[in-house]
Structure 1
Amino acid sequence: METVKADILAFGAHADDIEIGMGGTAAKYAAAGKKVIFCDLTKAELSSNGTVASRLAEAKEAASLLGVYERVGLDLPDRGLFLTEEAIRAVAEMIRRYRPTVIFAPYEKDRHPDHGACSRIVQEAFFSAGIRKYQTPGHEGAHKASRLYFYMINGFHHPDFCIDISNFMDRKKQSLRAYESQFEIGAHSVATPLTNGYIEAVEARDRLMGKEVGRTFAEGFLTNVPLVLEQDLIGDLE
């Protein structure tokens, strides 16, 4: 199998999770020429609205709007995400296939159990993928990404760092609106938390995050380990 080297590999439990949490960041780095890969762990087959087919089409459009290089999916069960060896190996396989510099996953504290489960699975796979003797189905060599960061979906948490997305907020909202089945009430849909001003709530959160760091819009992230500054506190070291 041809090796694909990704700069960013972002995991979500369902299509639209990544867009909600870090769509602006994905668009910003893609626009800068970085290779961004999205991986959805499930097909969201139990979603209250839409179908698997419509969700896949919406996910493809959303990724295209953000400039994502490739979007892939695993076939893990919706509402059946648990910390199993099968799930860990499947995610570790993706990490070894795309060999990312940085990995993103949902923050573990979230009202939706699948988001927390996705976070735990990715954390385990992040470690296991770097073990040479750990076996994955495709038999790719071990790969240790440099960092694992966590984005917020439903929650509002104090971030460890923020990324300025002021110039990419409109593109993020466009990607969310691509999920018409999820965020709009249609003739055959039912009301859910997503159909009641959810995109506006995400925009408000990103605006508040931006205000915290002196920007118009920002996305907040968390990390399990301290960040290392690559420049001096008062400017570049030259």
Structure 2
Amino acid sequence: QCVRRGYRVGILDLTRGEMGTRGTPELRAREARAAARALGAHTRENLGLPDAHLEPRLDWKLLVAARIRALRPRVLILPYWEGRHPDHVNACRLGQQAAYLAGLEKLDLPGAPHRPFKILYALLFDVPRGVQPTFVVDITRDYARRARAIACYRSQFDGPRVQRGVHIPLTGLEERMATLCGYYGGLIGARYGEPFATRETMQVDDLLQLSVRSI
């Protein structure tokens, strides 16, 4: 949706996914590039940090902070701060702390200081049950593009649900995403929706312009 509205969109991957049960880092890199093209992203980068070993180390926070200064996003979307995968949780911590560091004028990093205005947390995947979104975006017009991007990661959700004794949560991902997007869309009276959380209270300027009908 952001691309369709004319905004520049970038993706920063932290790892190459080398510890994943399915696929190889090389294959996953090709899939990531294909997905970025499908989404219309203007840039996609990979920091090459060790998969399954992410943590908010200072040197890694500085790497992310340097990219934030270079790319200068107004909105930063991170994984939700709780989840089953430690890397997802630590990616959230890394991103949030790096965003703060990127704004420190006296920090010895390339580029001018910059902090995103808003940090959003994605809720559609790997989120504990019962977590309620702050808001839901109507993605009905953009769902087909989103589905094409997900389909680029074919290595991750084709195959048996259990492989070498390991449960693979991505099996059947397309169907699960359609169900989840349909559910969240229904909450706002749309066909498909994507949920997000914020840590801040959202501001409303005009009560008469509120969306989503009550009765």
Q: Report Cα offsets for 1:132-173 as digits up to 9, x if no partner.
A: 01223xx11100211111002222521001111011112111
- Matching residue of 2:168: 192
- Matching residue of 2:126: 154
Matching residue within 172, 188, 192 for 2:146: 172
Query: Between the two proteins, what is the percent identity of the paired residues?
Result: 31
Amino acid at match of 2:153: Y
Q: CA deviation at 1:235?
A: 3.2
Aligned residue for 1:55, secondary structure, equals helix
Amino acid at match of 2:120: Y
How far apart in 2 are the matches of 1:171 and 1:126? 29
Matching residue within 62, 65, 70 for 2:38: 65
How far apart in 1 are the matches of 2:7 and 2:56? 31
- Matching residue of 1:108: 81
How far apart in 2 are the matches of 1:170 and 1:58? 17
How far apart in 1 are the matches of 2:156 and 2:169? 10
Structure 1 unaligned spans of 5+: 1-27
Q: Report Cα offsets for 1:45-99 as digits up to 9, x if no partner.
A: 1111111111010001111111111101101110110011011111111110001
Matching residue within 188, 191, 199 for 1:216: 191
TM-score (norm 2): 0.89
Amino acid at match of 2:146: K
Amino acid at match of 1:147: K
Q: Report Cα offsets for 1:109-141 as digits up to 9, x if no partner.
A: 1111100000011110111111101223xx111
How far apart in 1 are the matches of 2:75 and 2:173? 28
- Matching residue of 2:155: 181
Q: Per chain length, whose mean CA-contact separation is higher, i.e. which structure has more relative contact order (CA < 8 Å, sep 6+)? A: 1
- Matching residue of 1:130: 103
- Matching residue of 1:204: 179
Q: Report Cα offsets for 1:159-211 as digits up to 9, x if no partner.
A: 0011110111121111111111111129xx7662212x222112211111111
RMSD: 1.7
Runs (4+) off by over 2 Å: none
- Matching residue of 2:112: 141
Matching residue within 1, 6, 12 for 1:39: 12
- 2:203 matches 1:232: no
Structure 2 unaligned spans of 5+: 211-215
- Matching residue of 1:18: none
Amino acid at match of 2:39: L
- Matching residue of 1:23: none
- 2:52 matches 1:79: yes
How far apart in 1 are the matches of 2:108 and 2:76? 20
